[in-house]
């Protein structure tokens, strides 16, 4: 006969069993497990863990409501992009062919996992019929062989245009950014004069005044996106849409000639910038302009209110080939090995209706940009302050005469992802900063691109 083992412990004593329970509970904390009726099965979804904590709470509430209404048990996990943990999770699930039903795919991951994603044209058609088309970057990243493999979402989707100090740019460089891009609908003539040459002259003036533009030349996303916008504005493609290496072109040479001037007025340590360096430069009051979503402004609002009150987001400068605004969309896709594809698609569609998108956008002070143009009339971008309207021009608006862009577009995505993640464009600029000639930089890039095109 066996006697059940009991654990006796004095209150306050930490037993091994109690410690194990505590550890298990702690490990489960990041997982938001929402249980509802199970009549329609179970769906697990991995969301991007939002920088703004309120973003997760808003999402959780919506998912819970959808689960209760549809009698589906939903497990929502919020996975951070710190240390590329979200990409590691996607890679692990793709290898194991098991995991969540729905994943939040950062920009390039849809193509990376195209063979394992369920076509989602039906959902996309209903959404675009209702809310209008999405931009070309979304099609480029998520439409494979004519089929949508994931739906562009608002959660985590961001533009990464300039955010400048109003007073500093006016005083040191004579640039009236609020006049160029006021917080109201309508094109201004002044914005037409906002070119990369003007950008360079302003950078030079601010550099001399000890307030350099904090533009990174590292290999992380912020550096890549800014360099991508610069290259696109000059029409400089490293690889064309057919996969041909086109780095030895006059346009690439022209952008590098501009880059040769620009890098000289960037911070001395620009080559070692990561995605936090530019934020810190703005928040600490050491920089006149950065290229970033409003997260830097949001932190400044808390830590350096005087800097936040003097900051303004606006569109990218234009070049010979046009005006290109860095854009990084997130997508929601359903794995082909999902066990409840129907419910997964329903959940995605429900979360991308106007009302829930607006609710989430409000919760994160306008950080998340909806993929559908018809949703750009949310009031949040007008209301956010200080100063009022500071992020009005953060999302790309039709009167900006700009195009959403991701670095390395239009190269075939399997090549572009390597150009992007290896930071080829900012590295080219970094090499100029280190004193290499344009010919040397082009030769290096050509060698790299040959490797990417295997």
Chain residues in the site for other proteins (CB under 8 A): 84, 87-88, 91, 95, 108-109, 111-113, 115, 218-220, 267-274, 277, 280-281, 284, 286, 414, 417-418, 421-423, 427, 430-431, 434, 444, 447-448, 451, 454
Which is nearer to other proteins, 10 or 454 (by Cβ)? 454
Provide, rounded to whole angstroms, the least separation between the CB of residue 406 and other proteins: 15
Going by C-beta distance under 8 Å and a sequence separation of 6 or more, which residues neighbour residue 240? 246, 410, 411
CA dihedral 440, 202, 226, 268 (to 10 degrees): 60
Which is nearer to other proteins, 70 or 107 (by Cβ)? 107
The Cα 181–Cα 198 span in angstroms is 15
- Annotate 369-400 with b (16+ C-beta within 10 A) or e (fewer): bbbbbebeebebbbebeeeebbbbbbbbbeeb
Which is nearer to other proteins, 108 or 372 (by Cβ)? 108
Please name every residue paired with 45 in a beta bridge, in sequence order, or none if there are none: 76, 102
CA dihedral 360, 277, 396, 195 (to 10 degrees): 170
Which is nearer to other proteins, 54 or 209 (by Cβ)? 209
Rg (CA), the chain: 24
Going by C-beta distance under 8 Å and a sequence separation of 6 or more, which residues neighbour residue 396? 135, 159, 315, 325, 327, 402, 403, 404
Provide, rounded to whole angstroms, the least separation between the CB of residue 269 and other proteins: 4
Sign, Cα dihedral of 370, 376, 380, 386: positive
Provide, rounded to whole angstroms, the least separation between the CB of residue 116 and other proteins: 11
| Coil/strand/helix, residue 264 | helix
Which is nearer to other proteins, 139 or 434 (by Cβ)? 434
Structure tokens belonging to residue 262: 């620009």
- Residue 195 CB burial class (10 angstroms; 0-12, 13-18, ≥19): middle
How many angstroms separate the Cα of 405 from the Cα of each of 100, 141, 216, 252? 30, 11, 18, 17
Provide, rounded to whole angstroms, the least separation between the CB of residue 2 and other proteins: 24
Residues in the chain: 454
Q: What are phi and psi of 432, to 5 degrees?
A: -65, -40
Number of Cβ within 10 Å of residue 125's Cβ equals: 11
The Cα 419–Cα 424 span in angstroms is 5
Which is nearer to other proteins, 192 or 447 (by Cβ)? 447
The Cα 150–Cα 331 span in angstroms is 6
Which is nearer to other proteins, 116 or 321 (by Cβ)? 116
CB 93 within 8 A of CB 99: yes
Nearest to 202 by CA among 138, 266, 151, 139: 266
CB 132 within 8 A of CB 118: no
- Annotate 250-286 with b (16+ C-beta within 10 A) or e (fewer): ebbbbbbebbbebbebbbeebbebebebbbbbbbeee
Provide, rounded to whole angstroms, the least separation between the CB of residue 422 and other proteins: 7
Which is nearer to other proteins, 351 or 449 (by Cβ)? 449
The Cα 10–Cα 324 span in angstroms is 66
Provide, rounded to whole angstroms, the least separation between the CB of residue 149 and other proteins: 14
Which is nearer to other proteins, 358 or 421 (by Cβ)? 421
Which is nearer to other proteins, 175 or 430 (by Cβ)? 430
Provide, rounded to whole angstroms, the least separation between the CB of residue 69 and other proteins: 37
Provide, rounded to whole angstroms, the least separation between the CB of residue 432 and other proteins: 11
Which is nearer to other proteins, 259 or 267 (by Cβ)? 267
Which is nearer to other proteins, 74 or 217 (by Cβ)? 217
């Amino acid at each position: 006969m066996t006697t059940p083992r009991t654990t006796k412990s004095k209150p306050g004593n930490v037993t091994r069993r109690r410690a194990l329970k505590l550890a298990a509970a702690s490990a489960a904390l990041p997982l938001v497990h929402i249980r509802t009726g199970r009549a329609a099965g179970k769906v697990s979804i991995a969301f991007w863990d939002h920088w703004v904590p309120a973003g997760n709470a808003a999402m959780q509430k919506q998912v819970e409501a959808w689960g209760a209404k549809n009698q589906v048990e939903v497990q929502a996990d919020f996975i951070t992009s710190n240390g590329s943990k979200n990409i590691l999770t996607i890679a692990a699930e793709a290898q194991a062919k098991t995991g969540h039903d729905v994943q939040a795919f950062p920009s390039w991951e849809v193509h990376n996992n195209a063979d394992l994603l369920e076509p989602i044209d039906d959902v996309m058609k209903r959404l675009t019929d209702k809310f209008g088309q999405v931009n070309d970057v979304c099609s480029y990243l998520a439409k494979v062989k004519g089929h949508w493999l994931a739906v562009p979402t608002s959660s985590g989707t961001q533009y990464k245009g300039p955010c400048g100090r109003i007073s500093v740019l006016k005083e040191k460089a004579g640039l009236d950014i609020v006049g160029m891009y006021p917080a109201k609908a309508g094109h201004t003539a002044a914005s037409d004069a906002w070119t990369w040459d003007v950008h360079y002259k302003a950078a030079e003036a601010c550099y001399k005044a000890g307030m350099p533009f904090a533009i990174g030349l590292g290999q992380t996303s912020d550096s890549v996106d800014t360099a991508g916008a610069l290259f696109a504005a000059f029409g400089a493609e490293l690889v064309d849409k057919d996969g041909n290496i086109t780095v030895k072109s006059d346009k690439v040479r022209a952008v590098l000639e501009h880059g040769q001037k620009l890098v000289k007025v960037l911070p001395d340590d620009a080559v070692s910038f990561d995605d936090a360096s530019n934020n810190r430069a703005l928040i600490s009051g050491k920089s006149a302009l950065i290229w970033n979503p409003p997260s830097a402004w949001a932190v400044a609002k808390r830590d350096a209110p005087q800097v936040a009150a003097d900051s303004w987001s606006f569109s990218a400068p234009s070049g010979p080939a046009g005006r290109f605004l860095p854009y990084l969309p997130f997508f929601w896709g359903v794995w082909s090995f999902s066990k409840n594809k129907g419910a997964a698609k329903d959940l995605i569609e429900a979360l991308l209706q106007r009302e829930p998108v607006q609710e989430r956008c409000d919760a994160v002070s306008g950080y998340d940009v909806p993929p559908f143009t018809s949703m750009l009339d949310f009031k949040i971008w007008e209301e956010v302050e200080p100063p009022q309207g500071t992020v009005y021009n953060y999302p790309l608006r039709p009167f900006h005469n700009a195009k959403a862009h991701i670095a390395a577009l239009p190269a075939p995505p399997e090549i572009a992802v390597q150009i992007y993640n290896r930071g080829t464009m900012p590295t080219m600029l970094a090499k100029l900063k280190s004193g290499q000639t344009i010919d040397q930089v082009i030769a290096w890039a050509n060698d790299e691109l040959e490797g990417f095109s295997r």
